[in-house]
Chain A
């Protein structure tokens, strides 16, 4: 097997290959490390890579705590911070024979939609080095897209797994809030943050979710049972499945090219036997405003510990976006403003949750675009934070509601990948993974590889 064939293997295939002794673990690791050495200087996907590695090589977003391995959260304030413990997800992966081959670049404290807020330089989109890879799990998505790892872990707060997965043409799964322990994920906005897999196929995402999910006694919000792979799902077709299409996700701001690709994907789902129904999520337009108030409020307290007393640098090391959100949140929570901002946003959040609950009375999954556009030029939106915030309009509502969301490659616009977003009922990852997998098997988008 040639080196590039080896790194093209999916997680499931890699496990099989190791089991059947088609290649050794050492071979596998050497090949990946060699590829990282070649490609990473171009892509800047990794902030740290292992000198030696073993097990199945996984790329871990640098916001996830790894024992004895530097963890920066993409921030200068944590430069040189070497955690004394492992995140729950890392402990669980290690038990399954997974090794940390590197820590991946991300927007500072996961705050960003382009990767450009990383204090360590932006990661590049492997389909076009002049484009952003999306964010904040920018390096994890770029690493999977360029076969610099078997799979990656990212975190999704307002779309940070789904959106870069969409822009990089890979599979990204944001599990339901509470499905995976957040213990060891450096907090950005605690009521949204969720760790999830970024993979080459849907089956891989399902496997990783099975490994990392379930309560650990360290995250009080992670109490549901772990995700377990069950049955065969829908197999080859989607007969009996109802797919909801929210009209609010196809309005102003959606790129025509992206809309065309997504509509074609929906047609494909119909061809596969699904029934398409129109649903409405009427409070979608308030999602971004509510999200930015609650998220920033949580950020302002979560970043309070970075005072330079016990670890890390002083506060002047925070980047602009971190400072912006600390100020927004501090303002929103200030005496006399709480009711107008935080409390109101919390009510909007409830309404958005109810929107989804109502919509799911009519359908099993909700499908639409992940991102209104394909990957944009580096630097294009950095001067205009609000435009940047609007790029998350389709991912944020699911984050507010805590429901699971999957991004699956569904085509290209101008040679840049487009992702199909499949949203499911709370704690029903199984259905969205099954739908994603049937779609994936019926198409070949996920097999397309960037030429680097």
Chain B
């Protein structure tokens, strides 16, 4: 039987607000002396109360709107009750029945370049917990992270391939950084992924009656590997006639397999109920204003680059990788215009030569270098063809390699042409001429 994976993703992202979600302690806790960013509220002392950080709510709404969600009319915080030593109140303030944003979507690309829409179920606001360190037989608790704002983004089970998951996670990270709501660093734990994976017979419409939650995986690569492994494991189990059940599994990078962390029987009943310490949130009226404030996001920016500057989609995607790079690229275009450089040339130059653009100086230098190269640039196709012919004649081995299918060999031939012309020739033009000559 053929099986198809059903995958949903939960992403937690820590917001970079100045103060914590429910108190005035600094939220910038990373690498700080343990338990120095604490107060009665984030320590959960008797008598303390949460006081909502409006900046965090705004950033949560920005994320929701960037992911094409609707802002609800009425939202509430709720208490999620469970016991764990890193949770000083005995419950986490989260959202369950009344999330801030619902029903969004994001376009993702799989490994073959196929684009599909992933539906987003919800974007909600909650608080982080403290941090446990198990050292030499004792467990230490650091509450610096306690009640740092956290946003959770939950998709529908719309992914059918691990490569889509990876693209989704990367796009989310990019969006968080564009919005400036989080540094979204996986290694620091600013961004955390949890995948729900199950498989069903290809063509089946209903969702499988179980799902395996993959937790505590802190890199895109490991997550992809874990999902791939899990799909394989589940298909094998089903083929052997085994029954799969709800469980939580972790990823063992050394063994490159997943392992059982918690079975269904150990699942929590969180006993959610409305957080009585915090009034209802009615933020629908802020929607328009926040929407207007949102910066141009990578997807739209890339489309604009293609339309306005005539650069290739691939180049555009590289150039919008960060808001900063995209900004410098546009500056380079402006500077280049005075030197008769076309946006396409600049894009090719930056992308192909991997030019670093991280400051105004670097932008200026890149444009001047490119303009300098262009002085006396060889445009005459007949002359170029002649040089290409020479290079082909002088490098029979590379030609043979290429014709056997080693496409890399073309690079050596292009290099030969560039050397003979001191780089004063358009790479794409050389490639085109070489390819057509070698095919004959």
Contact = CB atoms under 8 A, between A and B. Distances in A.
A190 B272 CA distance: 15
Nearest to A178: B279
A338 B46 CA distance: 26
A190 B47 contact: no
A184 B47 contact: yes
B147 to A, nearest CB: 13
Contacts of B34: none
Interface residues of B, number: 29
B279 A220 contact: yes
13 contacts: A71-B47, A78-B46, A83-B45, A183-B48, A184-B47, A190-B277, A221-B279, A297-B273, A301-B79, A304-B91, A310-B88, A335-B269, A338-B271
Contacts of B276: 189-191, 298
B35 to A, nearest CB: 11
Contacts of B79: 301
A305 B90 contact: yes
A429 B52 CA distance: 27
Contacts of A183: 47-49
A300 B47 contact: no
Contacts, number: 98
A396 interface: no
B278 A220 contact: yes
Contact of A81 (B40, B46, B88): B46
Interface in A60-88: 64-65, 71, 73, 78, 81, 83-85, 87
A73 B46 contact: yes
Contacts of A83: 40, 45-47
A218 B41 CA distance: 9
Contacts of A81: 46
B129 to A, nearest CB: 13
Contacts of A235: none
B271 A333 contact: yes
Contacts of A311: 45-46
Is chain A's interface secondary structure helix, strand, loop, or mixed overall? loop
Contacts of B88: 305, 310
B83 interface: yes
Given A71-B47, A83-B40, 16 more contacts: A73-B46, A84-B40, A183-B47, A187-B49, A191-B276, A217-B51, A219-B277, A220-B51, A223-B279, A301-B79, A305-B44, A307-B83, A311-B45, A335-B269, A335-B271, A346-B274
A71 B46 contact: yes
Given A190-B276, A190-B277, A220-B277, A65 B47 contact: yes
Nearest to A294: B276
B44 A300 contact: no
Contacts of A217: 51
Contacts of A64: 47
Given A85-B40, A185-B47, A335-B271, A221 B277 contact: yes
A49 interface: no
Contacts of B40: 83-85
B83 A304 contact: yes
Nearest to B41: A218
A301 B45 CA distance: 14
Contacts of A304: 81, 83, 89-91
B271 A330 contact: yes
Interface in B262-293: 269, 271-274, 276-279
Contacts of B91: 301, 304
A117 to B, nearest CB: 17
B208 interface: no
Interface string A353-369: 00000000000000000
A27 B383 CA distance: 111
Contacts of A191: 276
A309 interface: yes
The 5 closest A-B pairs by CB, nearest first: A304-B90, A191-B276, A333-B271, A190-B276, A65-B47
Nearest to A329: B271
B50 interface: yes
Interface string A324-357: 0000001001110010001000100000000000
B169 interface: no
Given A307-B90, A334-B269, A335-B269, A220 B49 contact: yes
Interface string B125-147: 00000000000000000000000
A316 to B, nearest CB: 16
Contacts of B44: 305, 310
Contacts of A186: 46-47
A189 B276 CA distance: 8
Nearest to B23: A218
B43 interface: yes
A126 to B, nearest CB: 28
A300 B81 contact: yes
Nearest to B275: A190
Nearest to B88: A305
Contacts of B48: 183-184
B279 A305 contact: no
Contact of B85 (A73, A189, A309): A309
A87 B45 CA distance: 12
A356 B99 CA distance: 31
Contacts of B269: 334-335
Chain B CB count within 10 A is highest, among A71, A87, A183, A185, for: A183
